[in-house]
Structure 1
Amino acid sequence: MSLRPTVDFLLNDWLHVESLNQRERFADHSRETFDAVLDTCERIAREKYAPFNRVVDTQEPHFDGEKVILPQATHDAQKAYAESGMLSAAQDYEVGGMQLPYTVEAAANAFFAMASVSIGSGMLTTGNANLLMAHGTDAQKRVFALNEFSGRFSGTMCLSEPQAGSSLSDVATRAVPDGPDFQSDPLGPRYRLKGNKMWISAGEHELTENIIHLVLAKIPDENGRLVPGTRGISLFIVPKKIVNPAGELTGERNDVALAGLNHKCGWRGTTNTLLNFGEGRFPVKGEAGAVGYLVGQAGKGLHCMFHMMNEARIGVGMAATMLGMAGYHASLDYAKNRPQGRPMGPAGKDPAQPPVRIIEHADVKRMLLAQKAYCEGALALELYCARLVDEQHTADATTADDARLLLEVLTPIAKSWPSEWCLEANSLAIQIHGGYGYTRDFPVEQYWRDNRLNMIHEGTHGIQAMDLLGRKVLMEGGKGLSLLAGRINDTIQRAIHIPEFAAHANALGQALAQVGAATKAAWATGEPTDALANAVPYLQAFGHTVLAWIWLDVALAAHAAAESPARAGRLAAMRFFFHYELPKIGAWLQVVSSRDQTCAALPEEAF
């Protein structure tokens, strides 16, 4: 079973991505060039990634005392990815890019995520370089970003610290000016950093010539103290190896040291590290302190870093989606070929009859259809968000601003919903395999392990929930939420006139009204502690409403297509979502609307 027909349908029949070619930036492209990019990525994923997914899971990265060792397959895959040009796919021609729509780039990267998310592709490197293109100086773009886009350097993001976790206001890494001439360095104001960073993906390896760390650190106040809270948090480029203004390695190592490798449940093919900055193991010019170059303005580090974090959140959503999709395809293939049991009814009572394939059992069909609804719906959501990125960057001013606000509201859903429900799809894939699914003889247990990370990294489920209910639905007077409601109502109006969709359109309208009422009820007292006590159930209900909308909109495109098994499958997945999933929002929104304090008010002694 191939992913490609689903991608082609969503891009061409639903999102009409070829219409973007009417915009000046994409004028050189056509359906043929888009297909050629997808063909190339599908082939590389099939040849360089998929065959080695189990290899990188069993041959974990290890430190030999000098360097981190990764399987040769990882080196080969990363080289092929860099040579494909995908690291700079959406960039300008002038910097070696292809000026592809981000929608096409996201779709192309889906093949790599499905083939082996553990090997990884270039999400952090591209995000790192994109941030520098938006906030860096000309020299920083030339020396760091362009070398990342070419695959010569790779990139990381260094936010979390062992004592602080996701609480960025508790960052304790310190950055002080490096000498009286610190302002005159060609690569930007030069500082010395000291501190520790945890959970740094791809923080140490030999895959590229250099690793470019983007590090959040606090600049002390005039008294030399770190101010509590987010004041003073700034963003710095900290290369593993020192480079000169021409981008050449000087041969000197920066004071960045590997303190340890984290041994993970999944994503084992990607190194995850604890890094020490400025401990003095590799002194630069005889002094301890990692050399870093300020990005943007001092004290504005979080503003810059959120540029990368929002990209990464959509990337995490796509990774979760494609892991779910990989499990769905594996369990569908298994169900079609595994004979077991006999049908219900008189025919099934004859033990002489041969067993039927398990796909003929109603409950197995339920589990398969749930996976299809979760994963194909999530893929549609991620591509819709990618299309909003293109609107934000290339549409007229009003359309672009609407896209910006819609992305603000949808980003917590794009990250969190697939992380929860495509993980559930992986659990169902194991269930379909029965006992075999719980063994390493089949790939579905690895897909589940790999996917379990996605509810945690780039902002946990709880953080996404508080971001949605505490900030995104309220920002700019609730305009983003109103815009989303308008899009949903447009779909309802188109669907309600089609007899087979009318009941679903009405159900979606009722769900939207429930979400709106619950939003107001949650904030009725104006107290964040009341409103946010049940932020996660709100996130779940909001996400399910968004996915019901996405499915109904996709179903409208499917309805217009010719009769085919794929069309029947899409319409069935939509019906499944409305019949089995959307009704769940009532229970979630009940605790939100009543501002239920069962959890929040319970004293710890009661546990």
Structure 2
Amino acid sequence: MAQGLRAAIDFLLYEWLQAQTLCSRARYADHTRETFDAVLDTCERIARDKYAPFNRLVDTEEPRFDGERVILPAATHEAWKAYAASGMLSAAQDYAVGGMQLPYTVEAAGNAFFAAASVSIGAGMLTVGNANLLMAHGTEAQQRAFALPEFAGRFSGTMCLSEPQAGSSLSDIATRAVPDGEGYEADPLGPRYRLRGNKMWISAGEHELTENIVHLVLAKIPGPDGRLPPGVKGISLFIVPKKLVTPDGQLCGQRNDVALAGLNHKCGWRGTTNTLLNFGEGRYPVSAPGLGAGLDGQGAGAIGYRVGEPGQGLRYMFHMMNEARIGVGMAATMLGMAGYLASLDYARTRLQGRPLGPHGKDPAQPPVRIIEHADVKRMLLAQKAYCEGALALELYCARLVDEQRTGEAATADDARLLLEVLTPIAKSWPSEWCLEANSLAIQVHGGYGYTRDFPVEQYWRDNRLNMIHEGTHGIQALDLLGRKVLMEDGRGTRLLGERIAATAERARAVPALAAHAEALAAAWDAVLAATRAAWADGDPVAALANAVPYMQAFGHTVLAWIWLDVALAAAARDGAAHAGRLQACRYFFHYELPKIEAWLRVVRTRDRTCADMAEEAF
């Protein structure tokens, strides 16, 4: 598996995205392709040695709570130590904070190996996202006390948004934060509050992999009448550490009032703890010199330090959420890729059936490998088209992050807006179609596929979570059609259209790709027409009734563009691998892109079949 994955990453990184050219920029001037390769080599080795051998173990030996602590397999502890020691937690950070100052594109490519080896053991997605948010919106003191220990691997991080009664409806959260006595604003770590409430589905919410866990918690500050402000505009963001710290990030010996209420038992990602957390229930009352008396005068309430201004919490949290959404997209991609490579290996060795000749099958002939059957080739080619296309999309988005950081002002702003438009696709498309790839991997294995003797059933279970966490499929669709394609007067959509048109223009000059170029141009025109039709009268109810079919069509069109651009790079090179990429591109245009017409038809006509279904008719 590793050889095929590394070859795909190397091609996309160097031959397609030309990541080595980033070394000409001041931020990356100390690097060369050799240093990039060394990072990839390290990640590949750790993933191979510390992650892959234990993927089944962490699936069967789930986290358990003994009443005092959450117990994880020793392999998980060893994997975390190796990952933290690799420096990948701070790979893209400045030298000044201990980072390697690598392009984010290279960091994303390196992390792909861990997701393929064992997404369930996990790497640093939430910890890095948590720290990055604090570097963007926290004070210097908050960065020093919380973000830097996270980059060093001493602390880990979470994001605490959802609540049992509210789910994805963040306007309905009920966790409250009240100022912790007089002088609460003078705390060196930021305005200090006491929090009470519950947070559900918190990944990595309790464990002993690190010295401390830094929870970023959304909560509401009550008004003068004691009521919580309605809607999302009243949400603020708080740092709530599991253990209290000194201003220089050292533990001060006291546990915060954050308690594990229970572990959620999931169909996949079983090696990652998923928790219900109670904040301020009084199990660990916090009362010490320099702190307020708490909500009840006896230390009740979890200590939290406000990040930024009151009421801006959701805006700050989107910094982490958008990063996590791309991370989830990469996880979904690599689970699909792992299943594809496993089923490819199986198909090359499994003997079953006989070839179909002019007079049918000859039972006297020996059985053939199943990869010789046309339908198995169809399933393998579909997986390749889904997974390598999704990998290209995720790395393209990572490259946009580097353009934001280091490009000229106009280029950086274009990259920002283009990434806004593509983020719902980068999260949702792999979550749906690389899951389908995992389903096809099971199918290739036949009866063996749904047994635990082979890894593909676990890949499917692990991947099924990705359409839900970090924003469900429906939420991504509403974000895309309801906001992203319209924002800044549609400029991001126009920027994407310009890139699609440029790729199509180049492809028209290549005979083998010219027909694909015309199909892509027509598909994008159809997406734009459906967008205009959906919003023809400005009624959001009618426009968004079929947001998911719209997102499916939009995503398929984006992937067709990605594949055509990749094919242009492959067409200039010889070899079986490049021929395979051209064939995968052909598959996508012949088998997948035609699907968009059915999706766009219901968007264009603002079909109300689903919206008008009466509840009692179900």
TM over 0.5: yes
Task: Determine if the alignment matches structure 1 residue 23 to structure 2 residue 45.
Answer: no
Q: What is the CA–CA distance in structure 1 between the aligned matches of 2:222 and 2:437, rounded to whole Å?
A: 47
Tell me if structure 2 keeps the 8 A contact 1:172–1:217.
Answer: yes
Structure-1 residue corresponding to 2:508: 496
Out of 200, 217, 220, the position equivalent to 1:218 is 220
Q: What is the CA–CA distance in structure 2 between the aligned matches of 1:526 and 1:281, rounded to whole Å?
A: 51
TM-score, normalised via structure 1 length: 0.99
Structure-2 residue corresponding to 1:50: 52
Spell out the pairing of 1:513-552 with structure 2 (5 A cutoff). Answer: 513-552=525-564
Structure-1 residue corresponding to 2:42: 40
Structure-2 residue corresponding to 1:239: 241
Cα RMSD for the two superposed structures: 0.7
Q: What is the CA–CA distance in structure 2 between the aligned matches of 1:397 and 1:523, rounded to whole Å?
A: 32
Out of 340, 343, 358, the position equivalent to 2:370 is 358
Partner-residue secondary structure (3-state), 1:299: coil
Q: What is the CA–CA distance in structure 2 between the aligned matches of 1:246 and 1:157, rounded to whole Å?
A: 22
Partner-residue secondary structure (3-state), 1:453: helix
Tell me if structure 1 keeps the 8 A contact 2:144–2:247.
Answer: no
User: CA offsets, 1:400-436, max 9 Å, x none?
Assistant: 0000010010000000000000000000000000000
Structure-2 residue corresponding to 1:336: 348
Structure-2 residue corresponding to 1:591: 602
Spell out the pairing of 1:284-299 with structure 2 (5 A cutoff). Answer: 284-285=286-287, 286-299=298-311
Out of 384, 395, 417, the position equivalent to 1:372 is 384
Out of 103, 117, 120, the position equivalent to 1:118 is 120
Q: What is the CA–CA distance in structure 2 between the aligned matches of 1:363 and 1:476, rounded to whole Å?
A: 46
Deviation at 1:346, TM superposition (A): 4.3
Spell out the pairing of 1:160-179 with structure 2 (5 A cutoff). Answer: 160-179=162-181
Structure-2 residue corresponding to 1:274: 276
Deviation at 1:348, TM superposition (A): 5.7
Bigger mean CA deviation after superposition, 347-356 or 465-474: 347-356
Structure-2 residue corresponding to 1:568: 579
Partner-residue secondary structure (3-state), 1:231: helix
Spell out the pairing of 1:168-567 with structure 2 (5 A cutoff). Answer: 168-285=170-287, 286-346=298-358, 349-561=361-573, 563-567=574-578
1:225 maps to amino acid: R
2:311 maps to amino acid: G
2:549 maps to amino acid: P
Deviation at 1:351, TM superposition (A): 1.4
Partner-residue secondary structure (3-state), 1:156: strand
User: CA offsets, 1:73-99, max 9 Å, x none?
Assistant: 000000000000000000000100000
Cα 1:542/1:588, change in 2 over 3 Å: same
Structure-2 residue corresponding to 1:602: 613
Tell me if structure 1 keeps the 8 A contact 2:154–2:212.
Answer: yes
Deviation at 1:349, TM superposition (A): 2.8
User: CA offsets, 1:108-149, max 9 Å, x none?
Assistant: 000000000000000000000000000000110001000000
Deviation at 1:397, TM superposition (A): 0.5
Structure-2 residue corresponding to 1:577: 588
Q: What is the CA–CA distance in structure 2 between the aligned matches of 1:97 and 1:290, rounded to whole Å?
A: 32
User: CA offsets, 1:550-604, max 9 Å, x none?
Assistant: 000000000111x211011000000000000000000000000000000001110
Deviation at 1:216, TM superposition (A): 0.2
User: CA offsets, 1:169-197, max 9 Å, x none?
Assistant: 00100000001010110000000000000
Partner-residue secondary structure (3-state), 2:199: strand
Structure-1 residue corresponding to 2:74: 72
Structure-1 residue corresponding to 2:295: none
Q: What is the CA–CA distance in structure 1 between the aligned matches of 2:361 and 2:273, rounded to whole Å?
A: 54
Q: What is the CA–CA distance in structure 2 between the aligned matches of 1:333 and 1:217, rounded to whole Å?
A: 49
Partner-residue secondary structure (3-state), 2:36: helix
Q: Which runs of 5+ in 1 are unaligned?
A: none
Q: What is the CA–CA distance in structure 2 between the aligned matches of 1:157 and 1:413, rounded to whole Å?
A: 22
Deviation at 1:347, TM superposition (A): 7.5
Partner-residue secondary structure (3-state), 1:436: helix
Partner-residue secondary structure (3-state), 2:166: coil
1:488 maps to amino acid: I
Q: What is the CA–CA distance in structure 1 between the aligned matches of 2:511 and 2:41, rounded to whole Å?
A: 38
Q: What is the CA–CA distance in structure 1 between the aligned matches of 2:418 and 2:361, rounded to whole Å?
A: 56
Q: What is the CA–CA distance in structure 2 between the aligned matches of 1:272 and 1:235, rounded to whole Å?
A: 21
TM-score, normalised via structure 2 length: 0.98
User: CA offsets, 1:334-375, max 9 Å, x none?
Assistant: 000000000011486321211000000000000000000000
Q: What is the CA–CA distance in structure 2 between the aligned matches of 1:586 and 1:350, rounded to whole Å?
A: 42
Deviation at 1:228, TM superposition (A): 1.5
Tell me if structure 2 keeps the 8 A contact 1:78–1:207.
Answer: yes
2:615 maps to amino acid: E
Q: What is the CA–CA distance in structure 2 between the aligned matches of 1:248 and 1:145, rounded to whole Å?
A: 12
1:473 maps to amino acid: V
Partner-residue secondary structure (3-state), 2:195: strand
Partner-residue secondary structure (3-state), 1:448: helix
1:514 maps to amino acid: A
User: CA offsets, 1:19-66, max 9 Å, x none?
Assistant: 111110000000000000000000000000000000000000000000
Q: What is the CA–CA distance in structure 2 between the aligned matches of 1:351 and 1:605, rounded to whole Å?
A: 56
Tell me if structure 2 keeps the 8 A contact 1:139–1:186.
Answer: yes
Partner-residue secondary structure (3-state), 2:194: strand
Q: What is the CA–CA distance in structure 2 between the aligned matches of 1:196 and 1:407, rounded to whole Å?
A: 33
Residue identity over aligned pairs, in percent, reads 80
Q: What is the CA–CA distance in structure 1 between the aligned matches of 2:511 and 2:456, rounded to whole Å?
A: 39
Q: What is the CA–CA distance in structure 2 between the aligned matches of 1:475 and 1:449, rounded to whole Å?
A: 36
Partner-residue secondary structure (3-state), 1:465: helix
Q: What is the CA–CA distance in structure 2 between the aligned matches of 1:492 and 1:241, rounded to whole Å?
A: 55
Deviation at 1:249, TM superposition (A): 1.1
Q: What is the CA–CA distance in structure 1 between the aligned matches of 2:184 and 2:234, rounded to whole Å?
A: 18
Q: What is the CA–CA distance in structure 2 between the aligned matches of 1:345 and 1:232, rounded to whole Å?
A: 70
Partner-residue secondary structure (3-state), 1:120: coil
Deviation at 1:246, TM superposition (A): 2.2
Q: What is the CA–CA distance in structure 2 between the aligned matches of 1:244 and 1:99, rounded to whole Å?
A: 28
Q: What is the CA–CA distance in structure 1 between the aligned matches of 2:247 and 2:476, rounded to whole Å?
A: 39
1:247 maps to amino acid: G
Residues paired across the two proteins, number: 606
Tell me if structure 2 keeps the 8 A contact 1:342–1:348.
Answer: no
Moved over 3 A (4+): none
Deviation at 1:223, TM superposition (A): 1.5
